[in-house]
Chains A and B, each alone.
Chain A
C-alpha cells in the first residue's frame, strides 16, 4: 500500500484515540480530506521542483509507535544545551517524556499540545489560534493537521518573559524499523512578551525516520520571539519542517536555522505580517556533505506598510550534497515603505555538489526598497595561500575561511552557550580543531 493510502486509512484508527467531539477534530477531518485530494507534492509542482519525496514515499513508515520507550538522561545529555538551565519539552518517538522534561505553568504555560487540546481552560486559546496561520492547502501541512495531537504548547501572557530559554527535543529511538513523526507546536507570545526557543530533532539509530512537523507562532504587539532550529541529525533521518508565523505591530520574530545533518531536510518558513513596523528575520547556515539534501523555502508576505524583513542564508556544499534555496518576498499594494532584504551566498567545495537557488520577488507597491543578492563561488585562492604562508595548514585555513563566511549569521545568536555549541558543530562538520571559539 502506498504511503498516502496508508495515512488516509490510518486516520480511522487515529480517531479512536482522540476526542472526536472537540472542535479541533472538525479541523482534522477537513485536513485529511484535503490531503486525500492533494496527496504528496511532486516535482512537477513549482515549489518542489528541486526536492523529490519519491524515495521517502517508498518506505513503509509506522504511523503510531507500538511501544513507549524511555531514555536515560546521561545517554542523551549531549543533545541538550546542558551548560545552562532551560525549560525542556521532550518527546521520545513522538510520546511526551515527563522524566526528561521540565515544564511550567508559573505565569507562563510551557507544556504539551495534548494537554492544551484536552483541558477546557485552554479551549478559548485553541479556538482563537489553532490552525489559524498554518496553510489549509499545502498538502504536508494538512497531513500534519489531520494527525495533530502532540507537540509543544507555549503561551506567554502579556508583559511576561519566561525565566529561561525553552528547549523542544524530539528523540527517535529506532525501536520501529521506520517511523513517521508528526509533532504539532503552537507558540503564542502576547503583547510585550519575549521568549527564546531551541528546537532539535534527533534520531538515535540508523533506522529511517521521517518527521513532518508544523509550528505555528503568533507574535502580538511588541512581542519578541527568537527561534533556533538545530538540524544535525543522523543520515537516515529526514525532516519536513513547516513553520508559520503571524506577526502584529512592532513585533520581532527571528528564526535561525542551522542545517548540518539529516538525509533530506525541507524547511518551509512562512512569515505573514499582519501589522505595521514589524521586523521579520530569518538566517541560516547550511553545511552539507555526503548525499545530504537541504531545501530552504522561505516566504515573507508583506501585507502592511512600514515593515522590514531580512534574510541571510549561507551554504557550504561538499561531496554529493544538494542545496536548494527558494526565497519568496511578496509585497502587497498597501505595504508601502517596505524594506525587504534577501541574501543567499553559497560555496561549492566539491564537483559533485549541486546548488539550486531561486530568490524571488513579487512586488505590487511602488514605494519600497527590495533587493536580493545571490552568489555562488569558491574559497578565495589568495586568502588560502596567505593563511598557508602564515603556517596554517590548508585544511584549517579553508575551515577558517568558511567560519568567517558563516559568521555574520552566528553573530545574531543571542544565547552565548548556543553559539559555542554551533561553533563546535561547524568545526566538527568541517573536520577541524581550531582551538578557539569565534
Chain B
C-alpha cells in the first residue's frame, strides 16, 4: 500500500508533543514583574556576594534603556516582561547527597523523558548537572571530575566558591549590554552551569546539562560559562525538552565559551522546547545569545539540532581572536506547523590564519518559516582568513518558507571566502529511485532527509546522536517533499 502525501501530512499533524507533561512540584515562585527590588531579591536568594548584585543591577539599568530587537525574520506577540515571574525554584530543597533523596516525582519526570539518571551515571559516563526550573537539584560525577581539577557546578555555586574565576570571565564574551535579551539575562539569571578545565587537562567525559521549563509562567534565564584553560579539551552537551504549556514561555539564555591558547571546546545542543500545537498555540520563545572566544590556536565548535520552540532566535558565534584559531558551526534546524526559526552564526576573524566552517541545514515543513542568518567578518588585520559556508534548505509542502540572509564583510585581500546556498525539495526522481530499489516512500524520505542532515548529525557525540535522531524523528520522518 502506497504511503501518500496526505497520509503523511495527517500523521505529522496528529503527532502530539511527546514530552508534554507537567510535574507537580511545589515551587518557591517570586511575584510577577521586574524592577530593581526583584533583581536584588534574586541575588539575595542566591546568597550572592555584593559585586554580583551590582553586576546584575548594572545590566538591569542598561536593559531598561534598550529596545527589543525587531530585525529578525520572525513574527510573534512580544512578551510582557512585567507579566513574568523571574524566579522559581523547586521547594523541597536544597542539596541531595544521593539520588534517593531526590523527589520521586521529579525522578519520574526524568524517567518519562527517557533520561534515567542512574542509568546515565553508569552507562553513558556522563555527569549530569540537572537544572529543574532554576536550581541545580543533582550533580553527579563531581568527584571524578574534581580529581582532575575540573570544576563543573552550577553557576550560583561557582559564584560562591570560585568568585575569582567567575569575576574574571563572566561577561567578557557576552557583555551585559550586548543585546536586549543578554542584558535581561545578566540582570535576572537564576542559574546555569559553570565549567572550568585546568591547563592541559583533557576532560575524560562528556559534560551535559538538561534544561527544563516546568513552572507555568516562569521564564528560564540560564547562564552558562565554560572556560577551557591553555591546552585543555572539553566536550559539553546541552539538551532541552519542555512540558506542554498554552501560554508562551520565555527563554533567554546566555552561553559564554572561553578557549584559551591551544584549548578546544566542543559545544553540542539538542533543543526540543515545546513548539506549540498544530494551530500554532503556545510554545516556547527561545531568545539565546551564545558566543565563544578563541585565543591562539584554540578551537570552538558549535553543533546544534534545533527541533523545538515556537520562536527560535539564536546565533552561536565565534570570535577568532587568536592567531590560527578555528571556529566551526554545524546546525540542523527543523521547523514544522507554525514554528519560526531565525538562526545562524557569526564568525568574526580577528587573528591571522583563522579558519571557520559553517554548515547549516534548514528543513521546513507545515506552515513554518525557517531562516538562516549568518555573518562572516574578516578584519583588516586578519591575514589568510579562510571561511567556507554552506547553507542548504529543504522545503516540505507548499505553505512553508526558507530564507537565507548571509552577510559577508571582508576587509583583507588575503581572505578566502566561499559561500554556497541551495534550496530544494526532495526530488521525485530520488524517491522513485528508492522505490525502484524496494524502499517504500516513507523510508525513502527518512533516508534522504537523514542524508541531507548527515554532515551535522555526524558531528554530534555518540551519546547525543541517538537522542538527536529520536527528536528529529517526529519532524523528519513524517514529512513529504
Contact = CB atoms under 8 A, between A and B. Distances in A.
Nearest to B407: A358
Contacts of B425: 366-368
B99 interface: no
B423 A363 contact: yes
Between A350, A361, A374, A378, the greatest number of chain B beta carbons within 10 A of the residue's beta carbon is seen for: A361
Given A363-B401, A366-B396, A366-B397, A376 B408 contact: yes
Contacts of A354: 409-411
B71 interface: yes
Nearest to B370: A363
Contact of A377 (B397, B416, B420): B416
A358 B417 CA distance: 13
Contacts of B393: 361, 363
A374 B421 CA distance: 9
Given A361-B403, A374-B418, A355 B398 contact: no
A333 B421 contact: no
B399 interface: yes
A369 interface: yes
A367 B480 CA distance: 12
Contact of A371 (B403, B411, B417, B422): B422
A352 B381 CA distance: 10
A73 interface: no
B445 interface: no
Interface string A248-262: 000000000000000
A350 B410 CA distance: 11
Interface string A332-345: 01001000000000
| SS of A interface (majority) | strand
B419 interface: yes
A358 B406 contact: yes
Interface string B271-297: 000000000000000000000000000
A277 B419 CA distance: 29
Contacts of B398: 333, 336, 365-366
A365 to B, nearest CB: 7
Contacts of A369: 422-424
A374 B408 contact: yes
B340 interface: no
B419 A361 contact: no
B404 interface: yes
Interface residues of A, number: 35
Contact of B424 (A353, A355, A368, A376): A368
A95 interface: no
Between B410, B413, B481, the greatest number of chain A beta carbons within 10 A of the residue's beta carbon is seen for: B413
B380 interface: yes
B402 A348 contact: no
Nearest to B428: A367
Interface in A234-253: none
B481 A375 contact: no
Nearest to B375: A358
A359 to B, nearest CB: 6
Given A351-B380, A370-B423, A375-B418, A364 B412 contact: no
B405 interface: yes
Contacts of A376: 408, 410, 415-417
A370 B395 CA distance: 11
B47 to A, nearest CB: 43
A372 to B, nearest CB: 5
Interface string A71-109: 000000000000000000000000000000000000000
B131 interface: no
A356 B409 contact: yes
B150 to A, nearest CB: 41
B419 to A, nearest CB: 4
Contact of B395 (A46, A346, A359, A366): A366
Contact of A355 (B404, B408, B423): B408
Contacts of A373: 418-421
A246 B71 CA distance: 29
A366 B479 CA distance: 13
A362 B370 CA distance: 10
A353 B407 contact: no
Interface string B420-458: 111111000000000000000000000000000000000
A375 B417 contact: yes
Contacts of A362: 401, 403
B22 to A, nearest CB: 36
Contacts of A355: 408-410
Contacts of B408: 355-358, 374, 376
A414 B210 CA distance: 63
B395 A363 contact: yes
Contact of A361 (B399, B400, B413, B421): B421
B402 A361 contact: yes
B418 A372 contact: no
Contacts of A423: none
Interface in B117-138: none
B414 interface: yes
Given A354-B411, A366-B481, A374 B424 contact: no
A120 B402 CA distance: 48
Contact of B405 (A348, A349, A358, A364): A358
Given A362-B403, A369-B422, A375-B417, 5 more contacts: A336-B398, A359-B419, A363-B395, A372-B419, A372-B420
Interface of B: 71, 380, 393, 395-425, 481
In the A-B complex, the 3 residue pairs with the closest CB atoms = A348-B413, A366-B395, A376-B417
29 contacts: A46-B71, A333-B398, A346-B410, A348-B413, A350-B413, A351-B380, A352-B380, A354-B409, A356-B408, A358-B405, A360-B403, A360-B404, A361-B403, A366-B397, A366-B425, A366-B481, A368-B395, A369-B422, A371-B421, A371-B422, A372-B404, A372-B421, A373-B418, A373-B420, A374-B406, A374-B408, A374-B420, A375-B416, A376-B415
